[in-house]
């Protein structure tokens, strides 16, 4: 909304400027065709018009510099936000990498097989046994048996407890 109001103000300012420039050009054209006696009486009017054009020109330059300054401030703010987002993205990327590294080391500690590791990752991602069976092209019974072996090796009783084992350390402590 603020931007639209600024655009409207710029439009009116520019319209007045064009109007006064048109009057100034008409004054010059009239001065060529009218006699000197008429020009003497209208000199105040012409001087006033030229003064208005000068004032509008100075104001126009002022508004342009102000807008340039505002744009520079907006650009600087945008750069700060971009840098902040890059920093946060890097931290999240580092956390994600750190999380998966800790998951991998825990899998090694539990001596999971390659197939069990693959299934454990899919379990951590929240997939059901049926979905895992479809993805891996194995029978549901095979996936259930491997999931059971994962739960036994990890000392958990099921999928929710298995996921909670990895997620709990990431959650803040309750007050």
Closest to 17 measured CA to CA, from 66, 67, 64, 52: 52
Q: Are residues 6 and 31 in the same domain?
A: yes
Q: Domain boundary residue among 35, 68, 93? A: 93
What domain range includes position 123?
Answer: 110-175
Same-domain check for residues 81 and 122:
no
pLDDT of the residue at 48: 75
Q: Based on the fold, state whether residues 86 and 114 are members of the same structural domain.
A: no
pLDDT value, residue 97: 67
Domain boundary among 93, 122, 156: 93
Residue 101 located in a structural domain? no
The whole-number mean pLDDT for each consecutive block of 10 residues of the chain, a chain of 175 residues, reads 62 76 74 65 71 78 82 79 68 66 88 92 91 92 94 91 83 69
Same domain for 119 and 156, yes or no, is: yes
Q: With respect to residue 102, please indicate whether it lies within any of the assigned structural domains.
A: no
């Amino acid at each position: 909304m603020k931007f639209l109001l600024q655009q409207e103000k710029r439009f009116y300012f520019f319209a007045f400027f064009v109007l006064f420039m048109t009057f100034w050009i008409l004054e010059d054209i009239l001065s060529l065709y009218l006699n000197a006696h008429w020009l003497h009486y209208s000199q105040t009017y012409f001087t006033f018009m030229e003064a208005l054009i000068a004032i509008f020109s100075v104001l126009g330059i002022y508004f342009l510099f102000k807008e340039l300054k505002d744009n520079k401030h907006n650009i600087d703010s945008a750069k700060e936000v971009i840098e902040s987002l890059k920093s946060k993205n890097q931290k999240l990327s580092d956390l994600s990498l750190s999380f998966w590294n800790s998951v991998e080391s825990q899998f090694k500690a539990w001596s999971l097989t390659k197939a069990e590791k693959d299934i454990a990752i899919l379990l951590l991602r929240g997939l059901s046994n049926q979905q895992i069976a479809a993805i891996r092209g194995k029978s549901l019974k095979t996936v259930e048996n491997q999931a059971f072996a994962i739960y036994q090796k990890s000392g958990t009783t099921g999928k929710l407890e298995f996921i909670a084992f990895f997620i709990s350390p990431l959650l803040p402590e309750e007050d």
